[in-house]
Chain A
């Protein structure tokens, strides 16, 4: 009787192994995303998808298009480092459609930054609100030019 090439157990196992490894390789060809590995060990398409999210805040540059006079006044005084949306809130809709008005401000905005707190740096202008003059900040301060009186 002719002896087989390999013992029967080994032959059966080798075929089984080839089948398993083969199906793994086929699965891998199908299930690896198309842009994977282009730029590194990740889906390069993810960069495009992450960029595609629409921004929420409009940004100070967007306000400059229509309100450059206000921004020029702002740039002359100590609030020049502020972005408009820090006080006026998200204004993207307004930037796209000026008929939609941004948030109307109240004095709580001023206190959030200017309430005296020992943790705040010493160069920063802080007041103890209950000891400070008046009831409304805008009685004595112009928000865009805080050193000026209205």
Chain B
């Protein structure tokens, strides 16, 4: 009869499903053993992320726009050639206002030729037209509420416990959402790995007690790097945030960037 056939087939099917579920636990143990073999090693094992909180700050008054940091970053991290930058320098040239215009400033010219990697050419306006001019190094702002981490669909980019915002290159699917979500333009899609990339604070250096390459190479100490959890009273980063009135980039977006800038101007976005 149709009814009985339905019941029998239903019971056999349910039984099969339950048997399948029981094999799960055995399969899981086997899977874990197999995957353990592939766990990466080779990094210093004595580093505890929870004991550090890294931060980089920028003193705009000290940047001379030499671009050594941009070059050093590219070399240190193997950043691809072309419009791909983990850090870069922007030059701001604020011209004098037209006499009689009743304004405090003329137009603002911003440029970043090749990220500032080979320095900057002479300014496009004559020296006597320049009211203010300065260089602003830019990098990942290490946001407290990173929009990039928020939007990653798979969990490939994340806030590390020690303050860096990192990307897992083996897990990133290359969707580009984080690149669109970053308000500061600090992310890019690598044409080599087809994953997102950004400043990692030279994670492989700072976890070995070295400084990030850009900080190492900066001739004027415009980039100040330190460990907020282990900063003594003479630590440059402590002196920076204790002695300077600071700003952050795009505070109205609510990302709570941790990178502090001293000497910024209202024209810097």
Rounded to whole angstroms, the CA-CA distance of A125 and B142 in the bound complex is 33
Q: Is B175 an interface residue (CB 8 A)?
A: no
Rounded to whole angstroms, the CA-CA distance of A118 and B64 in the bound complex is 10
Give residues of chain A (4-51) contacting chain B, Cβ–Cβ below 8 Å. 4-5, 8, 11, 15, 18-19, 22, 25-26, 29-30, 33-36, 39-43, 45-51
Q: Can you name the residue of chain B whose Cβ is closest to the Cβ of A81?
A: B221
Contact B171 A47, beta carbon cutoff 8 Å: no
Contact B155 A41, beta carbon cutoff 8 Å: yes
Contact B205 A117, beta carbon cutoff 8 Å: no
Question: How many B residues touch A, CB cutoff 8 Å?
Answer: 77
Contact B158 A40, beta carbon cutoff 8 Å: yes
Contact A55 B217, beta carbon cutoff 8 Å: no
Give residues of chain A (41-65) contacting chain B, Cβ–Cβ below 8 Å. 41-43, 45-57, 59-61
Rounded to whole angstroms, the CA-CA distance of A120 and B122 in the bound complex is 11
Stretch in B176-184, B208-216, B242-250, B251-259 with 4+ CB within 8 Å of A: B208-216
Q: Is A82 an interface residue (CB 8 A)?
A: yes
Give residues of chain B (1-58) contacting chain A, Cβ–Cβ below 8 Å. 1-4, 6-7, 10, 13-14, 17, 20-21, 24, 27-28, 31-32, 35-36, 39-44, 47, 49
Chain B at the A interface: mostly helix, strand, loop or mixed? Answer: mixed
Q: Residues of A contacting B17 with CB < 8 Å?
A: 15, 18-19, 22
Interface residues of A (CB under 8 A from B): 1-5, 8, 11, 15, 18-19, 22, 25-26, 29-30, 33-36, 39-43, 45-57, 59-61, 79, 81-83, 85-86, 90, 112-113, 115, 117-121, 124
Given contacts A49-B43, A118-B127, A120-B135, 6 further A-B contacts (CB under 8 A): A49-B170, A51-B204, A51-B207, A85-B216, A119-B93, A120-B64
